């Protein structure tokens, strides 16, 4: 098999918003003791050969015998340096932070995606129980810091499971994040994805309704003008059947009022701004900035609609709403906790990812 085949599958998954949005998700394959894994900051949908980094699997193994700092920032720094050292000669790109996980899974191919349907399960109150009920031999990983900590936990669970059952997990669900599938071929992985999505879909009691709705154009124009003054990026507006439900009052909005996954934080901000009907948008915006040290990227005005500062936050907000609706079939939504949201907001890896994607 070849890198060419991996490229084709990566582009196909990457261009389908049902699987992944913007810079999310990554893929890999192994040839002998070489790992080809996606570089950070490349979008799967348009990825070319230069979007993959070649790494030495034997050197990557040695990472597990090392001691790293207890401090988050120092540890991530040390691990990144070691990962850069694991690249084959001549490689200049920075490997995906999930490269460690790709290296661990003993399959020639690994495809990691963030499908909204799957996250309807991983971001649900009954996510873990539902995964075990629907996908017997799958690994569920609770909310843990991504990168080294996550990979290390998966590594321990793989060893434990193999000792107990002689089997290797090929299907891994990560709470508030997404899914990893390993396989002997890309065709096999494709079948697993179809089965997983079909199984979840069959459980749904309701799907989001994104039929477009009109809105009071004068009011929309006024809010647009206010928001346009805050940034250079174009302000977009949308209203849909589902948005209308959410924007009825604060309690209906609560279901989409925080972050489900790191992608949402990186591209749409750690939470949307809510503005009461009739309240001053400018005042609410400035207060958000003062309170949180960052600007909102999504502004939700009660009984009017959703404003996006720039093009990127909007699809992620649609994703938030979709995940929230899907999660209703599994006990209701569960956001990342505050500590994890703060970790991601300050994580150098995600700052790098959002910089590369905007430049
Ligand atoms: Zn991911």
- Residue 337 — φ and ψ, nearest 5°? -80, 170
Is the pTM above the cut of 0.85?
A: yes
Strands 298-301 and 273-275: parallel
73 CA distance to ligand 1 middle (Å): 20
27 secondary structure, DSSP code: E
Task: Give the pair of three-digit tokens for residue 44.
Answer: 């799967």
Residues 26, 96 contacting (CB under 8 angstroms): yes
62 CA distance to ligand 1 middle (Å): 23
337 secondary structure, DSSP code: P
Torsion of Cα atoms, 58 then 64 then 68 then 71, to 10°:
120
Residues 72, 128 contacting (CB under 8 angstroms): no
Beta bridge partners of 182: 110
28 CA distance to ligand 1 middle (Å): 13
113 CA distance to ligand 1 middle (Å): 6
178 CA distance to ligand 1 middle (Å): 6
Chain Cα centroid distance, residue 24 = 6
All domains in the chain, ordered by first residue? 3-203 (3.40.225.10), 217-358 (no CATH)
174 CA distance to ligand 1 middle (Å): 9
- Residue 215 — φ and ψ, nearest 5°? -155, 160
**What is the Cα–Cα distance from 277 to 215, expressed in whole angstroms?**
13
169 CA distance to ligand 1 middle (Å): 17
19 CA distance to ligand 1 middle (Å): 11
| Residue 352: per-residue pLDDT | 64
12 CA distance to ligand 1 middle (Å): 17
87 CA distance to ligand 1 middle (Å): 21
Query: Can you give the pLDDT of all 359 residues of the chain as single tens digits?
Result: 578 889 998 999 999 888 888 777 899 999 999 999 999 888 899 999 989 999 999 999 999 999 999 888 899 889 999 999 999 999 999 998 899 999 999 999 999 999 999 999 999 999 999 999 999 989 999 999 888 999 999 999 999 999 999 999 999 999 999 999 999 999 999 999 999 999 999 999 999 999 999 899 999 999 999 999 998 889 999 999 999 999 999 999 999 999 999 889 988 999 999 999 999 999 999 999 999 988 999 999 999 999 999 999 999 999 999 999 999 999 999 999 999 999 888 876 666 666 655 54
Ligand 1 ion local residues (Cβ < 5 A): 178
141 CA distance to ligand 1 middle (Å): 13
């Amino acid at each position: 098999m070849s890198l060419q085949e991996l490229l084709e599958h990566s582009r196909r998954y990457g261009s389908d918003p049902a699987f992944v949005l913007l810079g999310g998700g990554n893929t890999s394959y192994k040839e002998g003791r070489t790992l080809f894994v996606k570089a950070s900051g490349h979008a799967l949908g348009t990825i070319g050969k230069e979007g993959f980094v070649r790494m030495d699997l034997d050197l990557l193994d040695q990472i597990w015998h090392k001691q790293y700092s207890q401090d988050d920032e120092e540890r991530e720094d040390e691990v990144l340096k070691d990962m850069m050292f694991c690249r084959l000669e001549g490689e200049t790109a920075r490997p995906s932070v999930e490269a460690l996980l790709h290296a661990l899974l003993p399959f020639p191919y690994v495809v990691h995606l963030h499908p909204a349907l799957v996250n309807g399960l991983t971001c649900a109150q009954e996510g873990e129980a539902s995964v075990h009920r629907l996908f017997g031999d799958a690994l569920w990983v609770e909310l843990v810091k991504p990168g080294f900590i996550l990979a290390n936990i998966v590594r321990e669970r793989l060893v434990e499971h193999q000792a107990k059952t002689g089997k290797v997990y090929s299907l891994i669900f990560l709470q508030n994040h997404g899914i990893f599938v390993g396989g002997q071929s890309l065709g096999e992985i494709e079948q697993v994805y179809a089965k997983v999505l079909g199984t979840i879909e069959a459980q749904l009691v309701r799907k989001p309704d994104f039929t477009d709705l009109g809105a009071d154009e004068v009011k929309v124009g006024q809010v647009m003008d206010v928001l346009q003054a805050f940034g250079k990026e174009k302000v977009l507006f949308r209203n849909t059947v589902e948005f209308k439900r959410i924007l009825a009052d604060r309690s209906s909005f609560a279901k989409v009022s925080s972050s489900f996954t790191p992608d949402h934080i990186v591209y749409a901000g750690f939470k949307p701004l809510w503005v009461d009907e009739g309240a001053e948008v400018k005042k609410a915006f400035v207060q958000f900035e003062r309170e949180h040290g960052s600007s909102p990227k999504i502004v939700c005005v009660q009984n009017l609609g959703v404003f996006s500062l720039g093009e990127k936050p909007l699809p992620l907000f649609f994703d938030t709403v979709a995940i929230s609706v899907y999660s209703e079939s599994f006990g209701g939504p569960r956001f990342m906790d505050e500590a994890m949201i703060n970790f991601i907001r300050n994580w150098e890896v995600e700052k790098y990812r959002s910089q590369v994607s905007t430049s």
